[in-house]
Amino acid sequence: MSILESELPTEMGFFEAVEAAYPAELGKAHGALKRGLPVMVECDKELTPYFYKCLRDRLKADSLQCIYLDGRPPADVDPNRLPPTMVGILLMQLKDLVRGAVGDRIVVLPHLDLLTTSQTGLTSEAREVISLLYENPQVLWVGFKDPSFALPQVISNLFAHRESILGIPRGRLSKLVTQRESRKFGTELNPYLLYKHVSGLNAVRLRRLLQSIEGEDYPSTPEAALSQLRVATLGGQLSLPNLDLHKDIGGYTRVKKRLQSEILDILQRKDSLSSEKEVLRYEALIPKGMIFEGPPGTGKTLFAKAMATALGAAVTVVSGPELKSRWVGESEERIRQVFVKARQNAPSVIIFDELDSFATARGTYSGSGVEHSMVNQLLTEMDGFRSDELVFVVGTTNFVESLDPALLRPGRFEFHLEIPYPNSEDRRAIFDIYNANLNLKMSEAALDYAVKRTSDSVPGTAGYYSGDHIQALCRALARRRIRSALDAATEVVDVDEVLTEYLDLPELTSLEERVVATHEAGHAVCALHCEHVPPIDRVSIRGDVAGALGVVRYAEAAHRYVVTRAQLLDSICMLFGGREAEALLCDDVSIGAAEDLARATAIAKALVQTYGLGDDSVGPRTFETGRDEMPIAEETRNKIDRNVSEILSQGQLRARALLKEHQGEIESLRDLLIERKVLDSESLASLGHPVKQGKEAEE
């Protein structure tokens, strides 16, 4: 698909460029005017005078004359007697025109958008202009509007024929590059490669940018020239990110692999194709709309920016709540302008942050109803993409299930990428990046400890550690090193102090501390002697995990997807361990086992009612009630209740027996906890507990 230098024009002016770029649009506008149809042309302000001149030349050949009304006063008129504004002058000129003899002349209005405000409402002067536009049916109008502004419907209705010009048709691009300019891209010009950097430019702006390219002739690669174009085409609130998908984002191997293989690799492969038919086939396969879903702080926007970096695309991040406006029509107008700017600066990526804030399923709105119109506008803009435009829309959300189904159908947001909380491997990779970038000098022990500690839930929240939390932790470590003028390695104690320095930890009395330590030691010893409970990773009585004075965290089970009855029964036994240890070694039993009892009861009920793993009196049957389920007989309810109670009683008795048998271990572990407050898997190895390597999960 490359073009030799000799096949390109030697010179080209702006008017020649417009003729070369838009022959179809000029021809259709010319034909409509010859048939007596008013024409509206939507194009950049920069393009308006050049397109008008080319159209006027065609009309002159048919003996059709044009009157160009741009609001400028005639040279022979006293300026002191003219209205003070351009709209006022335009109004005066229109009055004289429509109420006089127009004949066969065509009236050109190059600034239709002056007749509307930012809320698409109308000023008093604009209303008078509109009445004049409709006053004389003999007038044949040509109107130009900027795509950045919306016109009221009453103005649009005046024009029976419309032409929309946004960017350059790919097939015409080779007509707009001169031989001298092509030398900056190498010995041959690849218009398909060039097009993805200039697809949103009008022909006039493209010519100006091509003339301004500097550098050596016939370089080995066109990257230097393309880079100059990319920087020059950037405008508005768009920015060029610099974020490497693999180097700057830690972990998430599966997420990266899917994004790379399904989007980036296909686009890179498209750039190397030599067949126009193959290019069109590839373009039809690439999804333009994407949903990045996952909990807050997991890097959804970060992945979108990394994708944009790989594409050399500009990025605009739009917050869903910021799009909403109390003015009628302005929310939709904001969405439309976002898309116009993105298309003008293609390749680009539009990131709708918190997409669910306005794109929830229609019929579920509780507000003013503006969300309905915003969703419709978003759908309209996405349906208007050309297949050769490199404009992608990424919607980030924490609640993908709440989005309007119309957004999720193929052709719109058809590509879904889930970005979950980071697992242990991901967290380690994220720590590695910040360790290097912030010069934390973390020791291996500190790194291991940080990875393990961030498997807990975040204090004060119900969520777990995300990439943002890890970044905040590493920044806090860096500030600590600066405050302490620390040049040595960051150790476990440093990580621990940063994690707990500003936590409102409970101040337990010695008696309370003994009860909590006994409770957690009971859980730990039961876990040690229950075959199917995962190995212990950490025991704490410091109150540094949200909602608990103490906690036993377990390593991730070896078998995560197949759960057996024996595993669930062992879990029930372990959950009773804390309460039974208190009963064995303390004077009384505290209420600290409330959550343990709730979880044990839920497991026992699930065994009987959901999984059909109760005794023979109940049988292998599901007893979940619902609209289509038969009601459960009272006798059956009693059997279920007795079976659940029996499972719980057996678990309690089993825990009690284990703890009596291993009372010495409980006392040793309790005393060690009181002394150290926190024990890791290595510290527990002395008690005979195996050390588990790998991912962690809180039990």
Instruction: Report the C-alpha gap between 541 and 390 in whole angstroms.
Output: 55
Exposure string over 547-578, b if 16+ CB within 10 A, otherwise e: ebbbbbbbbbbeeeeeeeeebbbbbbbbbbbb
pTM for the full predicted model: 0.76
- Hey, which bits of 424-482 come out as E strands? none
Instruction: Report the C-alpha gap between 611 and 624 in whole angstroms.
Output: 10
As given in the structure block, the two tokens for residue 327 are 């003015």
Choose between 321 and 663: higher pLDDT.
663
Output the CA angle 252-256-259, nearest 5 degrees.
Answer: 145
Name which of 148, 151, 81 is nearest 116 in CA terms.
Answer: 151
Backbone angles phi, psi at 8, to 5 degrees: -100, 160
Instruction: Report the C-alpha gap between 300 and 417 in whole angstroms.
Output: 9
Give the pairing type, strands 140-145 and 106-109. parallel
As given in the structure block, the two tokens for residue 299 are 């890097």
As given in the structure block, the two tokens for residue 19 are 């003729």
Residues 522-538: what's their mean pLDDT? 87
| pLDDT per position as a tens digit, 212-270 | 999 899 998 888 888 888 888 776 667 778 888 898 899 999 999 999 998 888 888 88
| pLDDT per position as a tens digit, 557-577 | 666 778 899 999 999 999 999
Output the CA angle 208-212-213, nearest 5 degrees.
Answer: 125
Residue whose pair of structure tokens reads 């009683």 in the numeric block: 649
Q: Say yes or no to pLDDT of 651 above 90.
A: yes
Give the pairing type, strands 536-540 and 678-680. antiparallel
The SS3 of residue 514 is helix
* Encoded amino acid at 389, one letter: E
Q: Say yes or no to pLDDT of 325 above 70.
A: no
As given in the structure block, the two tokens for residue 198 are 């200039």
Burial of 224 (0-12, 13-18, 19+ CB in 10 A): middle
As given in the structure block, the two tokens for residue 562 are 């197949």
Active site residue 520: yes
Banded model confidence at residue 419, pLDDT cuts 50, 70, 90: very high
As given in the structure block, the two tokens for residue 570 are 């062992």
What's the distance, CA 2 to chain centroid?
36
Q: Say yes or no to pLDDT of 693 above 50.
A: no
| pLDDT per position as a tens digit, 167-178 | 888 888 889 999
Backbone angles phi, psi at 695, to 5 degrees: -75, 155
| pLDDT per position as a tens digit, 137-166 | 888 899 998 887 878 888 888 899 999 998
Please, what sign has the CA dihedral across residues 132, 137, 143, 149?
Answer: positive
| Catalytic pick among 520, 556, 580, 699 | 520
